[in-house]
Amino acid sequence: MPAKRRRVQAQEEEETDEKEASGMKNENDLVSSKYFQSKKMRLLSDFYNKPCIDLAKSFLGQILVRRLPDGTELRGRIVETESYLGGEDEASHSRGGKRTERNVAMYMKPGTIYVYQIYGMYFCMNVSSQGDGAAVLLRSIEPIEGLDTMRKFRNVKRNVQKPLKDKELCNGPSKLCQAFAIEKSLDRQDLANDQSTWLEAGPEILEEDIVSCARIGISAGEWTHKPLRFYIKNNKFVSVRNKAAETSANT
DNA sequence: CATCTGATGTGCT
DNA sequence: GCACATCAGATGA
């Protein structure tokens, strides 16, 4: 029966829709959901101690929490991740076992946050997993709590006032960093112990609701097309959907 | 919808 | 010097 229940949940996601002009619609839906009626449980060290691909899939559905200095808490459900496997993976910062000042967090214990800057102006957030130099990139989050603050952060960073739809707040690795105020200072912090940033257990995602496909923005020979990107099927907050992978996946 | 382009600056060869 | 795990705006179909 859990399978049936989760199917229903997947359908509900399709219905949370274009009424985002009103702003708070989505937030109300999720706040009243089963997750928010239950205890918010922080994920502990053991959770992160698994192989990179397993961790990337396990992240789907979990809740990222950011506690700001003023006490505001931001919450969102992880809906899209990518695996970077380590030495063998030609697309990884740790390819060939390379260690630099920038990427040391990739070699730290599973659950360690790796934040790096890209294109001079953006950040990306990863979490190290089991395996030497292996880490998971967070690519998209479904915002749950603190949407107004997220919108403010995103507008400040973009230096424009154009109103953002809910789905535009965190649907990309650097967008979610802006929305959650994730910066270089979080690099090498431990997601299992940090006071400002952690993960809480969210509703479990069924394997059949996970789409696996090629990573985004990669051109590294045979590693370009390996299915190392994972996202929740039919979720509106994913950055880039892969229709071919969705239809071939299953019924 | 798809494809292109400029912004921007750090890390690494 | 140049590549870069990106984003936003513009353009054409």
DSSP A10-32: HHHHHHS-SGGGGSSHHHHHHHT
* Mean residue pLDDT across chain A: 87
Strand B reaches within 7 A of the A242 CB: no
Å from the A98 CA to the B13 C1': 13
Å from the A215 CA to the B12 C1': 23
Whether residue A10 has pLDDT greater than 70: no
Strand B reaches within 7 A of the A217 CB: no
What percent of chain A lies above the pLDDT cut of 70? 82
Confidence of residue A12 (pLDDT cuts 50, 70, 90): very low
Which segment of A10-19, A75-84, A124-133, A150-159 scores lowest on mean pLDDT?
Answer: A10-19
Please report, as a single letter, which amino acid is at residue A233.
Answer: K
Nucleotide lying nearest to A121, CA to C1' measure: B8
Å from the A45 CA to the C7 C1': 33
Q: Which residue is nearest to nucleotide B10 (CA to C1')?
A: A120
pLDDT tens for each residue of A88-105: 999 999 999 999 999 999
Q: Which residue is nearest to nucleotide B12 (CA to C1')?
A: A100
Strand B reaches within 7 A of the A90 CB: no
List all nucleotides in chain B with at least one atom under 7 A from a protein Cβ. 7-13
For residue A157, what pLDDT is reported?
74
Q: Which residues of A21-54 are buried (b: 16+ CB within 10 A; e: fewer)?
A: eeeeebbeebeeeebeeeeeeebeeebbebebbe
More confident residue, A182 or A14: A182
pLDDT tens for each residue of A191-216: 999 999 999 999 989 999 999 999 99
For residue A34, what pLDDT is reported?
61
Confidence of residue A167 (pLDDT cuts 50, 70, 90): very high
Beta carbons within 10 angstroms of residue A73's beta carbon: 12
Å from the A144 CA to the B5 C1': 34
Strand B reaches within 7 A of the A102 CB: yes
Confidence of residue A159 (pLDDT cuts 50, 70, 90): low
Q: Which residues of A172-192 are buried (b: 16+ CB within 10 A; e: fewer)?
A: bbbbbbbbbbbeeebbebbbb
For residue A13, what pLDDT is reported?
41
Q: Return d(Cα A167, Cα A1) in angstroms, integer.
A: 30
Nucleotide lying nearest to A215, CA to C1' measure: C5
Strand B reaches within 7 A of the A244 CB: no
Strand B reaches within 7 A of the A18 CB: no
pLDDT tens for each residue of A23-78: 344 445 565 566 665 678 999 999 999 999 999 999 999 999 999 999 999 999 99
Residue range A173-200: mean pLDDT, rounded: 98
- Nearest alpha-carbon partner for A122 in A160, A187, A173, A196: A173
What percent of chain A lies above the pLDDT cut of 90? 76
Å from the A54 CA to the C12 C1': 42
More confident residue, A64 or A20: A64
For residue A138, what pLDDT is reported?
98
List all nucleotides in chain C with at least one atom under 7 A from a protein Cβ. 4-9
For residue A247, what pLDDT is reported?
83
